[in-house]
Amino acid sequence: MTITSTHGGHDRAVPFGATVTAQRARRIEAVFGATVEYLAALLIVCEILILLAGVIARYYLSTPLPWTDEAASILFLWLASLGSVVAFRRGEHMRMTALVARTSPDRQAFLDTVAIAAALAFLVFALGPAYEYASEEIHIVTPALELSNAWRAAALPVGLALMAMMSLIRLFKSGNWRLISASVAAVAVLFAVFAAARPLLQDLGNLNLVIFFVGVSGITVLLGIPIAVAFGLATFGFLTLTTTLPITVLVGRMDEGMSHIILISVPLFVFLGLLIEMTGMARAMVAFLASLLGHVRGGLSYVLIGAMYLVSGISGSKVADMAAVTPVLFPEMRKRGMTSGELVALLATTGAQTETIPPSLVLITIGSVTGVSIAALFSGGMLPALVLAAALSAVVFFRTKKEVMAGVRRATGREIILALVTALPAIALPFVIRAAVVEGVATASEVSTLGIVYTFIVGIVIYRQMNWHRLVPILVETAALSGAILFIIGTATAMAWALTQSGFSNSLAAAMAALPGGAGTFLAVSIVMFIVLGSVLEGIPAIVLFGPLMFPIAAQMGVNDVHYAMVVVLAMGIGLFAPPFGVGYYAACAIGRVNPSEGIRPIVPYVLALLVGLAVVAAFPSISTCLLPQAAGGAGKP
């Protein structure tokens, strides 16, 4: 007996037994997935409460709690691991699907299943070393809580095991045994080929760097395998087949990357970004800007640029920023004659423009992997974004001369004042966050908790739009996005360590130092390099992978570290939001409900404007450093 399945885009015959298996897999996934999601949501709440207790006790009561950092660190690795499981269940691990999407439905279904099978293979191979790594941590005791460090380290093998289970469930959900068998066989054959080639690979020396870290990682990323898995497979293959190092080293570097105390702010800022959208704070800011500029030609485009600047100063999440601004502005902008392509082009490029505005997740990542002071990065990121905003505004001025203004009414002074009063609590939040870090009230890891409490109070007391039923879904969404980010950081940290140990960093430093033209040429090469990396890998994995290599070279070349951070972050932002490979562009299209093909031509002048603005930022270091307490970045506390 057979029934019809639509997996892969068109009908095909599927055996009845396979369908029963698929239905059972879906039921198991529903229970299993919901359990993990609620646990991850609970961990986020616990993190917020622990960090907030630490801030209150230290700053307001002058009685620091020595255990808060330890407890937060232990729970954070569990949150990262369970969040990765949630992201895997929801299919939200970062992938490059531009090439896969262009294939036929059958081939696309095959490649999607190969991606799951490849992830399962990596997880199974890493599970044993992860268990061994956690076992070795049993005898290490934390100083404040006096707990075995195995309680923290166990998060990795548990998370890997749960992701492996989720991989199996997702394979069985397809209900197509032929597709599953072909995909698993393809992955098994590739692994067997590499295993058989081990004697040859061990004689190739540094050529293996190209084979694994360019070839394997590049091909797997292009095939749509999750970026974190691609990095993990490349590093695992390199260590296993070409060195004698134990694989527990890979797990140790993953632990180091995923549990860095600075990165605790990632899930909290993601949650804050979703929270301000839910409470109506973003809508209030947009309404105020629209009351000021809505009556001028191109005014709503300027409002979009300004709104993204302000909202980015709160959330740190570009997806949250775009989702908050788009529903408010796009309908009216369409009424004024702007095409869908023009709208999404401007939306995407404002996403690139605001990459340096604190609390940017990329800036937090730079601080965690390079040692640059996050307070300095937060201070240095404000003006570079303004330069790019001015460049985009210049394009808007010339492209909106024919905007339809019929029926557009100028807001009265009373309406402007009312909109300002309504928006003031929302507008104040970015300044509260920045002041809390600069004045030492809270670290960059803790300040998001103050923002969350502030947003709850404002949402309940002033805007009265607190939808309590949405809190759990928002927490789950936060866990999924955070898990996807942190899992990439973990495997990218392992790859960066392997590259460093191989001597690649020394060779790269020597090659960059030998470039003619000194610091200017170095910055130009860095811009090109990070635009490409941003389009292929996205900002966070690119900076984790190459930040530890490039920032020391920048220091040797005499480039200020904060200035260099602004240049590379903006370059990655342009790559991330520029078609055809930038995934941020496709996220903007999805949020704006616009066909990606419509924005390809309109986005060109905006991208050129961003490049001009980036050139100005690169040429004048004072733009990035003039707001620092001293005209220098440097390492420091977060």
21-71 pLDDT, tens digit each: 778 878 888 888 899 999 999 999 999 999 889 888 888 888 888 888 888
Quote the CA–CA distance of 396 and 404 in Å, as a whole number: 14
Q: What is the pLDDT of residues 451-467, one digit of tens each?
A: 888 888 888 888 877 77
Query: What's the whole-number mean pLDDT along residues 464-473?
Result: 83
Quote the CA–CA distance of 336 and 404 in Å, as a whole number: 5
- State phi, psi for 582 to the nearest 5 degrees: -65, 115
Query: What's the whole-number mean pLDDT along residues 631-638?
Result: 41
Verify that 242 and 319 share a domain, yes or no.
no
Which SS3 state, helix, strand or coil, does residue 443 take?
coil
Query: What's the whole-number mean pLDDT along residues 202-231?
Result: 86
Domain boundary among 223, 238, 259: 259
Helices within 294-412 (DSSP H only): 299-315, 318-335, 340-353, 361-370, 374-380, 382-399
Verify that 247 and 334 share a domain, yes or no.
no
Out of 302-311, 392-401, 550-559, 622-631, least confident range? 622-631
Verify that 242 and 371 share a domain, yes or no.
no
In this predicted structure, what is the pLDDT of residue 361? 76
Q: What is the pLDDT of residues 409-419, one digit of tens each?
A: 788 888 889 98
Distances (CA, A) of 132 to 138, 153, 252: 10, 10, 10
Domain boundary among 198, 226, 259: 259
Q: What is the pLDDT of residues 495-528, one digit of tens each?
A: 878 877 777 766 776 777 777 877 888 899 999 9
Verify that 204 and 294 share a domain, yes or no.
no
In-domain check, residue 16: no
Q: What is the pLDDT of residues 124-142, one digit of tens each?
A: 999 999 999 999 888 888 8
**Contact at 8 Å (CB) between 247 and 126?**
yes
633, pLDDT greater than 80: no
179, pLDDT greater than 70: yes
261, pLDDT greater than 50: yes
In this predicted structure, what is the pLDDT of residue 284? 84
Quote the CA–CA distance of 146 and 185 in Å, as a whole number: 47
In-domain check, residue 13: no
SS3 sequence, 167-183? HHHHHHHCCCHHHHHHH
DSSP 511-523: HHHTSTTHHHHHH
10, pLDDT greater than 70: no
18, pLDDT greater than 60: no
Which two tokens mark 34? 């919901």
In-domain check, residue 224: yes
Verify that 302 and 232 share a domain, yes or no.
no
Q: What's the mean pLDDT when you consider all of the chain?
A: 83
In-domain check, residue 600: yes
In this predicted structure, what is the pLDDT of residue 315? 58
Q: What is the pLDDT of residues 181-212, one digit of tens each?
A: 999 999 999 999 999 999 998 888 878 888 89
Quote the CA–CA distance of 237 and 198 in Å, as a whole number: 10
Domain boundary among 240, 259, 278: 259
In this predicted structure, what is the pLDDT of residue 406? 67
Verify that 415 and 451 share a domain, yes or no.
yes
Out of 46-55, 220-229, 532-541, least confident range? 532-541
In this predicted structure, what is the pLDDT of residue 79? 93
Please report, in angstroms and rounded to a whole number, the separation of the first and last CA atoms in the chain: 63
The number of domains in the chain is 2
- State phi, psi for 97 to the nearest 5 degrees: -110, 10
Q: Which domain, by its residues, includes 407?
A: 264-472+503-625
Quote the CA–CA distance of 503 and 568 in Å, as a whole number: 23
In this predicted structure, what is the pLDDT of residue 257? 80
Verify that 35 and 96 share a domain, yes or no.
yes
Percentage of the chain exceeding pLDDT 90: 23
In this predicted structure, what is the pLDDT of residue 578? 83
In-domain check, residue 635: no
In this predicted structure, what is the pLDDT of residue 391? 94
618, pLDDT greater than 70: yes
**pLDDT band at residue 606, thresholds of 50, 70 and 90?**
very high
Verify that 93 and 119 share a domain, yes or no.
yes
Verify that 335 and 287 share a domain, yes or no.
yes
532-535: long-range pairs with CB below 8 Å, 24+? 532/575, 533/572, 533/575, 534/571, 534/572, 534/573, 534/574, 534/575, 534/576, 534/582, 535/575, 535/576, 535/578, 535/581, 535/582
The half-sphere exposure of 280 on its side-chain side, counting CA atoms within 13 A, is 16
In-domain check, residue 497: no
Verify that 251 and 294 share a domain, yes or no.
no
Of 86, 54, 95, 85, whose CA–CA distance to 72 is shortest? 54
In this predicted structure, what is the pLDDT of residue 3? 32
Higher pLDDT, 366 or 579: 366
Verify that 452 and 588 share a domain, yes or no.
yes
**Contact at 8 Å (CB) between 395 and 602?**
no
**Contact at 8 Å (CB) between 632 and 375?**
no
Q: What is the pLDDT of residues 140-164, one digit of tens each?
A: 888 888 888 889 999 999 999 999 9
Of 608, 554, 500, whose CA–CA distance to 256 is shortest? 500
150-154-159 Cα angle (round to 5)? 170
In-domain check, residue 486: no
Query: What's the whole-number mean pLDDT along residues 441-459?
Result: 82
271, pLDDT greater than 70: yes
In-domain check, residue 276: yes
Verify that 143 and 183 share a domain, yes or no.
yes
DSSP 133-171: HHHHTTT-B-TTT--BTHHHHTHHHHHHHHHHHHHHHHH
Query: What's the whole-number mean pLDDT along residues 89-112?
Result: 82
Q: What is the pLDDT of residues 308-328, one digit of tens each?
A: 887 776 655 676 677 767 777
Instruction: Tell me the sheet residues that pair with 47.
Output: none
**Contact at 8 Å (CB) between 564 and 554?**
yes
Amino acid at 390: A
* Claim: this prediction has a pTM higher than 0.85: no
In this predicted structure, what is the pLDDT of residue 539? 66
Q: What is the pLDDT of residues 551-577, one digit of tens each?
A: 888 888 889 999 999 999 999 889 888
